[in-house]
Every structure is written in C-alpha cells, then in structure tokens.
C-alpha cells in the first residue's frame, strides 16, 4: 500500500485536481486486465472510455506502432508521408465516405466539424456571414475546449469559463419536434451523439435518429454524428447510427481510432463538404502523423474483419441479459445501452456511483461512475465471456446485502 499511497499523494500535490481518480496506481496491462504497482490485478470495465476497444497491449497495434517508430514518426503536413494516403483512403472507405480531415483528440475533431459546418454554411449553403447556427442536444458531451463547453448543459464542465462562444442552440435529446422548431434558414448543422455516453449511455427513442436524418435533409442542414465513443465497434456495429439505418453527412471519430496507443481523431465526410477547406484555413502539427496513421490503419484493418463488431454484439446481448436480471432484485433501477456498453442506474440506497466503483475496485473490477448513482460498463471488446461473467459476479456481490 505504501507505494500506492506515495504515488497518489505525489500526484495530488503536483497535478491539477481536474480529475478524482480511483485510488489505484496502474503499472502494466494486457488485454482486459490491468496490474497495479503492488501486483494486484483488475478487470478493466471502462476501456479508457472506449479508446481501448481492442484491449491493452494489442499485439497487432503494438507491432504496427513499433515498426513505424523505427521508420518515421512525424513529418508535419508540410510534406507528404507514405502512410497518409492509405489512412485517408481506407478510413473514408470504412465510413462509406470520400474524404478525411485528421486531427488528434476528439475535441479537436469536434472543433473541426464545427468549423467545417460553418464554412460549408457560408460558402455552399449561402448563410449570411457570421450568422450560422448549430443545433446540439442537452446533456451532450463533445469535449472540453472553450467553444465546446459553450454548448454544454453540464454546469461542472461549463461554469467560470465564459465568455462563451455563440452560435449554438440547445434542444432536448430525443425530441424531434423541438429540433424541428429550432431550425431556421441559418441552421447549418445538427451535432449529436447517436448514444449519449457521458450522460449515462442514453439511447434515444427508436426513430429519433432517422427522424433527425429526414429533417436535416429536408432543410439542407448537415447531420454531424459524434461517434467518438459510440463508433468503431462498441455497440456491435462499426457505427451506432447503423442500428437505425442512418448515414450522417459527417462522422466525428476519435478514441478507439488510435487503438489506445496514440491520440488519433478525424472528421470523415463527402468531398463536397470537406472540400470547403483551402490551404492554410485549418490544420494541426500532429494531425495525420505517420505513427498515428500506422496505428489507425491497423485499427481500420481489424474493424474491416467485422469480428470485433460481432463480439460486441454477442457479448453485449449477454451483458444486457445479465444486467436485466439484476433489475428484478431492486438494487439496479435501470440499464441502458447497446452492445458492450451499458449505463447502470444503481438504487441510491446502495451508495453513490463513486462508492459502488470503490467497492468494485476492492474486488478487482475497475469501472467509472457518472452522474449520481450511475456506473457505466464498457470493457474492451476483446474481453472473454468468462472474464465478463466474473466482473458481473463482482457487481452482483457488491449489490447484495
């Protein structure tokens, strides 16, 4: 315990307290398991908020990264490099789109989507300069930049960061009539998570996303899908929107695109929409770098096999079946989600989400709470059924009294 306590005390003294991590200090990890500095093992049921869909230390990803590390890691976009074209071509193909604009973090990709939509609005749609509006949903999570938190409804994420960026309109999630009413001739885009992750894995009502697609098409408004957390296999499909048979105008991707190895994000769209950019109008020193492209190319190749999506679908059915059984006991109030992704509302009489998470940690399972008494479960897609069952057994034990 001494090593753990020292590491935590030191982190608390010298790092800003913008996080409140569980008191565990990880030293190594493999697949769905992490080992702390004292040698204790934990089942990772968070998977870096889905950045680790393919598990820790995935051989294919580590080998791809190592090989690229020995060749060239960074060129900047001032020059071409030999992994760039393949990355863009194959990612566009995976998405059924034409063009890619690579960035690094999710928030940067969302910023890129916002800039793209505004520029498209002025250059292509003909919206009067400076008046473009983007509609977003309440309880969204799209990242942490000043512009993005300007359209957050989460006071914790937003307070004391003003003045806020204008040009956004917030409507209730899942409410088509409200969306319709909010649209004007100056609306350039609707930006949504197909499933709201940070809000507690909220799945919108059936038909909502298809309705958004119809409304946006009818009003010549871009449908931007933030699939940073929901995309790339998590829900049992490559994209969560596929469950509704919906194709957006723009995908925003991140997290798992970098395989948990490096930050890789991208906006993927049509040539007409991403074609609005001219040299110098947007960019990033690290966006689309050779190391990022090499890792992401491996991620794309793995997703093309379909096996991770299938695993997520099959194990996800099992996960939701088991969690559903827990609702009969009263300790679990509601379970939401899709595929290997669940938001679980625990009866507050059993403790806060944080307290439940701490008890699970003591039993060797790592999850993250969100909003009150909700915990979310999102293990790496490579988790074995036996390990998943063991993790669920620990949850059952924590909720037994």
Ligand X SMILES: *Cc1c(COP(=O)(O)O)cnc(C)c1O
User: Phi/psi at 123 (nearest 5 deg)?
Assistant: -80, -35
Among 95, 110, 292, 346, binds ligand X (CB under 6 A): 110
Q: Which range in 72-80, 94-102, 104-112, 390-398 contacts ligand X by CB under 6 A?
A: 104-112
**Minimum distance, C-beta of residue 206 to ligand X, in the bound complex (Å):** 21
236 and 340 in contact (C-beta within 8 Å)? yes
The residue with tokens 């409304």 is 215
For the segment 232-291, give every residue that binds ligand X (CB under 6 A).
Answer: 254-255
Which is closer to ligand X, CB of 35 or CB of 145?
A: 145
**Minimum distance, C-beta of residue 47 to ligand X, in the bound complex (Å):** 12
Task: Enumerate helices (H) and strands (E) in the chain, giving the number of each.
Answer: 14, 15
User: DSSP characters for 109-142?
Assistant: HHHHHHHHHHHHIIIII-PPTT--EEEEETT---
Which is closer to ligand X, CB of 246 or CB of 331?
A: 246
**Minimum distance, C-beta of residue 51 to ligand X, in the bound complex (Å):** 8
Q: Is 255 a catalytic residue?
A: yes
Interaction mask 171-210, ligand X, x per CB under 6 A: ----------------------x---x-------------
E-strand stretches of 300-366: 332-337, 342-346, 365-366
Among 81, 133, 142, 336, binds ligand X (CB under 6 A): 142
Dihedral of alpha carbons 109, 111, 117, 122, sign: negative
Among 58, 90, 105, 289, binds ligand X (CB under 6 A): 105
Choosing from 141, 151, 168, 223, which is the catalytic residue? 141
Q: Within a 10 A sphere around the Cβ of 86, how many other Cβ atoms?
A: 14
User: Looking at beta carbons, which residue is closest to ligand X?
Assistant: 106
**Minimum distance, C-beta of residue 222 to ligand X, in the bound complex (Å):** 17
Among 31, 55, 102, 106, binds ligand X (CB under 6 A): 106
**CA distances (Å), origin 78, targets 194, 268, 289, 296:** 35, 21, 11, 21
User: Phi/psi at 20 (nearest 5 deg)?
Assistant: -130, 75
Among 216, 229, 235, 284, binds ligand X (CB under 6 A): 229
298 binds ligand X (CB under 6 A): no
**Minimum distance, C-beta of residue 380 to ligand X, in the bound complex (Å):** 16
Sorted by sequence, the CB contacts under 8 Å of residue 30 that are 6+ apart come out as 55, 56, 57
Distance between CA atoms of 97 and 82, rounded to whole angstroms?
Answer: 21
Q: Is 141 a catalytic residue?
A: yes
Burial of 118 (0-12, 13-18, 19+ CB in 10 A): buried
**Minimum distance, C-beta of residue 103 to ligand X, in the bound complex (Å):** 9
Q: Which range in 59-67, 78-86, 141-149, 295-303 contacts ligand X by CB under 6 A?
A: 141-149
319 binds ligand X (CB under 6 A): no
Q: Which range in 4-12, 117-125, 221-229, 236-244 contacts ligand X by CB under 6 A?
A: 221-229
Distance between CA atoms of 284 and 276, rounded to whole angstroms?
Answer: 17
226 binds ligand X (CB under 6 A): yes
Radius of gyration (C-alpha) of the chain in whole angstroms: 21
Binding site for ligand X (CB under 6 A): 49, 105-107, 110, 141-143, 193, 197, 226, 228-229, 254-255
Residues with active-site annotation: 141, 226, 255
């Amino acid at each position: 315990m001494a090593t753990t306590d020292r590491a935590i005390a030191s982190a608390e003294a010298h790092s800003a307290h913008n996080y409140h991590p569980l008191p565990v200090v990880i030293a190594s990890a493999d697949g769905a398991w992490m080992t702390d500095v004292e040698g204790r093992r934990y089942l990772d049921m968070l998977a870096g908020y889905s950045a680790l869909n393919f598990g820790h230390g995935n051989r294919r990803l580590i080998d791809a990264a190592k090989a690229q590390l020995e060749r060239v890691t960074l060129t900047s976009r001032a020059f071409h490099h030999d992994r760039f074209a393949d990355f863009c071509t194959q990612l566009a193909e995976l998405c059924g789109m034409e063009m890619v604009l690579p960035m690094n973090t999710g928030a940067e990709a969302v910023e890129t989507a916002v800039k793209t939509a505004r520029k498209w609005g002025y250059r292509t749609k003909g919206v009067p300069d400076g008046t473009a509006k983007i509609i977003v949903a309440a309880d969204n999570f799209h990242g942490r930049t000043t512009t993005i938190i300007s359209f957050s409804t989460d006071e914790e994420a937003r307070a004391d960061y003003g003045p806020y960026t204008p040009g956004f309109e917030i409507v209730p999630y899942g409410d088509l009539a409200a969306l319709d009413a909010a649209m004007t001739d100056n609306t350039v885009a609707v930006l949504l998570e197909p499933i709201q992750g940070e809000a507690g894995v909220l799945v919108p009502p059936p038909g909502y996303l298809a309705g958004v697609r119809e409304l946006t098409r009818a009003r010549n408004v871009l449908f931007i899908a933030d699939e940073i957390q929901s995309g790339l296999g998590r829900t049992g499909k490559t994209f969560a929107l596929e469950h509704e048979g919906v194709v957006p105008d723009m995908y925003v991707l991140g997290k798992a695109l970098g395989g948990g190895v490096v930050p890789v994000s991208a906006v993927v769209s049509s040539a007409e929409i991403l074609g609005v950019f001219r040299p110098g109008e947007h960019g990033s020193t690290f966006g689309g770098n050779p190391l990022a492209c090499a890792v992401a190319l491996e991620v794309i190749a793995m997703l093309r096999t379909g096996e991770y999506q299938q695993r997520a679908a099959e194990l996800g059915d099992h996960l939701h079946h088991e969690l559903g059984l827990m609702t009969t006991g009263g300790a679990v109030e509601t379970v939401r989600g899709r595929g290997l992704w669940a938001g679980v509302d625990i009866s507050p009489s059993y403790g806060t989400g944080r307290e439940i998470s701490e008890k699970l940690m003591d039993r060797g399972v790592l999850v993250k709470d969100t909003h009150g008494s909700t915990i979310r479960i999102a293990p790496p897609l490579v988790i074995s059924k036996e390990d998943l069952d063991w993790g669920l057994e620990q949850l059952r034990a924590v909720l037994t009294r």
